[in-house]
Amino acid sequence: MNQQSIQYQGGILAVIALLTSAALVIANNLTHDAIEQSRLEDLKAFLTQVVPKDYYDNDLVKDTVSLKLQGEAETTIYKGRLQNKVNAVAFEWTAKGGYAGNIKVILGIDRDGKVLGARVLAHNETPGLGDKIEVKRSDWITKFNGLSLENPPVDKWGVKKDGGIFDQFTGATITPRAVVKGIKEALQVFQAHRATILGE
């Protein structure tokens, strides 16, 4: 092989490498955009489940503030406003102590601390036992609607087995206990940081 042909082949290889990298960068950007788009759509779907439409007239997906409410992690607060006044908020909360680890919930609360809606976003609980916390498996999670730290009183925020008002599941108390405790904690944090969360 002469010098010219080696240079030529080297050049071709360099061009191929360049084109491949460019294709990867473009594919990566497109995938990233698609993932972000689907994340926003999922989020919007959950937000509309936990904050009723008549509670806001703004775009609550975009009206956000990030606060450190749970350890070092930032919690994004979605604000629902009616004529610019914050009327409801929604945020994710990590309930600890499930049977198989943390349970991520999203909670909608009105400005006075009443639950408008709660949904489980992610969990690793056992199918058939702990997964009744999902709204597609049972209506258990909807029983939080309308409740606050005054109704029922704080000491009733537990499963029935522990003297509270919430049903446990047959043979599975750990999961609902963790979710009740998590939602109670989220309400307590809302109460303690209400002014900051509402931005007032």
Ligand X SMILES: Cc1cc2nc3c(=O)[nH]c(=O)nc-3n(C[C@H](O)[C@H](O)[C@H](O)COP(=O)(O)O)c2cc1C
Strands (E), the chain: 64-70, 73-82, 85-98, 101-110, 115-122
Tokens of 73: 């992690």
142: number of Cβ within 10 Å: 13
Task: Name the residue type at position 190.
Answer: F
Give how far the C-alpha of residue 174 lies from the chain's centroid of Cα atoms, to the nearest Å: 21
Piece of 70-78, 104-112, 150-158, 173-181 that binds ligand X (CB under 6 A): 173-181
Please tell me whether residue 159 adopts helix, strand or coil conformation. Answer: strand
Instruction: Give 107 or 179: the residue with its C-beta nearer to ligand X.
Output: 179
- Binding to ligand X by CB under 6 A, coded x per residue (else -) over 129-168, reads xx-------------------------------------x
Among 90, 107, 175, 181, binds ligand X (CB under 6 A): 175
Q: Distance between CA atoms of 126 and 188, rounded to whole angstroms?
A: 28
Least distance (Å) between residue 174 CB and ligand X: 3
How many residues of this chain bind ligand X (CB under 6 A)? 11
Site string for ligand X, 33-72 (x = CB under 6 A): ----------------------------------------
3-class DSSP assignment, residue 110: strand
Binders in 87-126 for ligand X, by CB under 6 A? 99, 125-126
Minimum separation from the CB atom of position 171 to ligand X (A): 5
DSSP letter, residue 123: -
Residues that bind ligand X (CB under 6 A): 99, 125-126, 129-130, 168, 171-175
